[in-house]
Chain A
């Protein structure tokens, strides 16, 4: 089964400084990977996804992630944090069931705190 590990439960940055949220995956085949963001008491919104095309994936709100097969990593970055980036971020891998149907497997989340 596929899995993801988010290496930090909390990350604190100052506004205007870079953001790095780390994610490692485990997959027996070429995976599809996603980053989702969740603001308090809200649903999840897709930031970006990797599906075996370009290894550097650009998403919304200035976020990007790089797929590194040799390191089994899919870290999320942003050059300059904004106060509105404060939220919880989930790294997600797709897991293919016997029927061919895709199930999304979520990491435990990283809470990003942004201070003025």
Chain B
């Protein structure tokens, strides 16, 4: 089955620790995205990648890092510098970043800082 796989589904982290969220797609899409979802705020863009080896900051990139070394993989690291990391994180991909391009989403990772 083609799709986007995020792992793990639930993740707990102690304050001060970095943690990496995994996102893999087998849709052969060039563009990939990371969003953060908080209650009542919709989805906000953290990072995006137009093509392999491209990596661009979105609207709320502070405290996050990542890379796009392979077309099918787009990991996101939540660093200890992120002041409020508890949230639901969604990875998405699209064929290309042109107008009208539909984004396909993974099932999300819920990160909780304990």
Question: What residues of chain A have their CB less than 8 Å away from a CB belonging to chain B?
Answer: 9, 32, 34, 36, 41-46, 49, 51, 90, 94, 96, 99-104, 106-109
The answer to whether A102 touches B105, judged by C-beta atoms less than 8 angstroms apart, is no
The 7 listed contacts between A and B (C-beta, < 8 Å) are: A41-B110, A44-B43, A46-B104, A101-B98, A103-B48, A108-B40, A108-B41
Question: What residues of chain B have their CB less than 8 Å away from a CB belonging to chain A?
Answer: 4, 6, 31, 33, 35, 40-45, 48, 50, 58, 88, 90, 92, 94, 97-108, 110
Q: Of B31, B43, B100, which is within 8 A of A106 by CB?
A: B43
Closest chain-A Cβ to B105's Cβ sits at a distance in Å of 4
Chain A residues, CB < 8 A from B33? 104
The answer to whether B40 touches A9, judged by C-beta atoms less than 8 angstroms apart, is yes
Chain B residues, CB < 8 A from A102? 94, 97-101
Q: Give bound CA distance, A100 to B33, whole Å.
A: 16
Closest chain-B Cβ to A42's Cβ sits at a distance in Å of 6
Chain B residues, CB < 8 A from A109? 40, 42
Chain B residues, CB < 8 A from A90? 42-43
Closest chain-B Cβ to A28's Cβ sits at a distance in Å of 13
The answer to whether B102 touches A108, judged by C-beta atoms less than 8 angstroms apart, is no
The answer to whether A42 touches B42, judged by C-beta atoms less than 8 angstroms apart, is no
Q: Give bound CA distance, A96 to B35, whole Å.
A: 17
Q: A101-B97, A107-B42 given as contacts; is B107 within 8 A of A43 (CB)?
A: yes
Q: Give bound CA distance, A56 to B94, whole Å.
A: 24
Assuming A9-B40, A108-B40, what are 13 further A-B pairs, CB within 8 angstroms?
A: A32-B99, A41-B108, A42-B107, A43-B4, A43-B90, A43-B106, A44-B43, A45-B105, A96-B99, A99-B50, A101-B98, A102-B99, A104-B103
Chain A residues, CB < 8 A from B40? 9, 108-109
Q: Of A45, A94, A99, which is within 8 A of B99 by CB?
A: A94
Chain B residues, CB < 8 A from A96? 99
Q: Of B4, B45, B100, B104, which is within 8 A of A94 by CB?
A: B100
